[in-house]
Structure 1
């Protein structure tokens, strides 16, 4: 018995935050039905690169789900939703505030026919507040909350973070967390609720250290000036002779002392409180004088919190991750091709595919899926 087996999710969302949230629910056993527009389906299907008929992004994020193609502007298509809404456990939507209300599918309306429904809305700025109707993407959200200002490179070389922090850590993960809390509450009181997941609200958690420092000292961290953003010699990227990087994080004194011994840092520079910039320059000179393999060998077996930055290709082949089965799940497409499935933070014991490849849904496939009783559609 998988933890969420027997629960049905109606997913109206597109692109990343909502689909990733429903993927996590599906991996834990929930029956997820994607509601997509007829003809083209959701936008992610058309992204590049393609993998078969749809994009590989879509395949990764929608593994094991079903698809129901409906034009939500048509009364006849919305009527098809009625029995699903009556029996669903969770609704997930990602429209701007007010859109579902105009369609007659908002929480106030649907909860009248299904009081036990857990209705989760994911938006950039939430269901209320002056910015509720403002359009944005991940870069806007991390910019508006001050997160980007803490580490964004230089004016000459501005750096865009490689991870979609707001979409995933501010949207998908909090959505699942709160859905699970709401399920537990429903078990106790027999009633659902509306969840207002604002990606921007949830980004401030990641700046606990910056907020604490600023609120207490009134000295607010700047761009790359603090402990974990490269403001000290003990938490930095140092280039090697062959163009790779050492990820050096010997924050604690015992790790710093060992690091200094391993690289042969002169005694004068080891007290990095005297002239941090001078220490950074000297460590940079030393690290850049040798190739990455030299430093890889030097750090091997030594507890100094230092490593060589891996490429994604290298990480996927890392014996550690392979041994842990991180990439043991598979996704397949309509041509029977398979790829490593997207690793998700669901314990392997909760996932029921047993290593069998699972496909993303064919657009509208749920409308013609036969049931055990021979009906034309499973609704």
Structure 2
């Protein structure tokens, strides 16, 4: 890896060293869960379908594991993957309910061969229920959890928060946590189990604080009318003179006073009325006008060293060079120039190494088959017949 420093290549392999995971290829949340586990030191093998042979890997999301191409519909290909799973701690899959069963990779079948196996299942709606078999994407799942309906401007349609809330926060991250919890239990009891991670429920879990505020009367279901959803002018983003933006999070009174002072609008803002929603429209107009009087970087310089919770809104191609990110090595670039978030969180005793590059689909097939005990002539035959690639 090159570019800004990420974790040192010579670092310990991370706190999950020794954990073996098989990822049955998918999109979005399952690869993310596999990436997180790999970043933290787990040995992860991704099983690609033959149709994935010519699909370029995602240089960031697919990093840090090895790749095997196997035809799961061919008994010989299935046998290869079964043997891989037999020596593993966990399996991750993101098929629709029933697909793994049809392929012979259902939890009971795998548990008969490996009693300690944890089977992590990722879906949008869950393994059962009226919508279990229905297709969907992140936006559909967070729509049912209440998360989507809470994000956006007043009087405008809800705004999709990329696919961060369903696929990744409420999906892949929660799947990784669930799998690790089940692995800990399996090591204590000798028995694995199935982990049913659903993005509707995961994204709902991410809304816990908001549901609590709603129950306490401190939140309204009206979009853009609350402190944390952009309704308050002291918690929002503002355009600057150069068309770029700053983010303002001056919730507490002291931070709000610092914001007003640096903006130079103390004569137009009543500090004592900060939490009075009736003052918010005029306050927003004052802030909007003030921020448009200078560029983003000029405001960044003016707020430097001031606790007013004002930061520049960086584009993805700017994060690497920001002084704080650069100092901590929060991002790094690989040999192709792709920007990577560094593994997180950080561990004092078992620091994580810089992730290895994303593998070409099937790039480790021959090596993995050899490790499973297949002689060279058997590997050549399986490759020639397209059972593996």
The two structures have a TM-score, normalised by structure 2, of: 0.83
* Structure 2 stretches lacking a partner, 5+ long: 1-11, 380-389
Contact conserved, 2:142 with 2:199, CA < 8 A, in 1? no
Indicate the residue corresponding to 2:238 in structure 1: 238
**C-alpha spacing 1:306/1:11, structure 2 compared with 1 (3 Å):** same
* Residue range with higher mean Cα deviation, 184-193 or 368-377: 368-377
1:308 equivalent in alignment to 2:308: no
The whole-number CA distance in structure 1 between the counterparts of 2:291 and 2:282 is 14
Q: Is the 8 A contact 1:331 1:360 kept in 2?
A: no
Deviations 1:282-320 (A, max 9, x none): 222222233334322321111111122122222211121
1:343 match = 342
Give ranges in structure 1 of 5+ residues lacking alignment.
Answer: 47-53
In 1: Cα distance, 2:316 partner to 2:52 partner: 31
Question: After the TM superposition, which residues 52-201 of structure 1 pair with which residues of structure 2 at under 5 Å, given as runs?
Answer: 54-55=56-57, 58-153=58-153, 159-201=159-201
Match of 1:294 among 292, 295, 298: 298
User: Is the 1:210–1:221 Cα contact (8 Å) retained in structure 2?
Assistant: no
Deviation, 1:254, is 0.9
Q: Indicate the structure whose relative CO is greater, using CA pairs within 8 Å and at least 6 residues apart.
A: 2
Higher mean C-alpha deviation, range 235-244 or range 111-120: 235-244
Structure 1 residue 358, shift from structure 2 partner = 2.3
Contact 1:115/1:191, CA 8 A, preserved across alignment: yes
CA distance in 1, matches of 2:264, 2:108: 67
1:167-186 deviation digits (Å, cap 9, x = unpaired) = 11011111111121112111
**Counterparts of 1:207 and 1:125 in 2: how far apart (Å)?**
17
Match of 1:361 in 2: 359
Deviations 1:155-199 (A, max 9, x none): 678743245221110111111111211121112111111000111
Q: 1:8 and 1:346 mapped to 2: Cα distance?
A: 20
Which is further off, 173-182 or 32-41? Answer: 32-41
Give the distance between the partners of 1:79 and 1:115, measured in 2 at CA. Answer: 18
SS at match of 1:195: strand
Preserved contact between residue 63 and residue 331 of structure 1 (Cα < 8 Å): no
Q: Is the 8 A contact 2:126 2:196 kept in 1?
A: yes
Structure 1 contact 60–331 (Cα < 8 Å) conserved: no
Aligned length: 359
Distance 1:209 1:189 in 2: 34
CA contact (8 A) 2:330 2:341 kept: no
Partner of 1:33: 45
Match of 1:205 in 2: 205
State which drifts further: 206-215 or 65-74: 206-215
Contact 1:11–1:92 (8 Å) recurs in 2? yes
Residue of 5, 13, 21 corresponding to 2:33:
21
8 Å CA contact 2:152, 2:229 repeated in 1? no
How does the TM-score come out when normalised to structure 1?
0.85
Name the CA distance, whole Å, in 2 between partners of 1:203 and 1:83.
35
Higher deviation after alignment, 32-41 or 11-20: 32-41
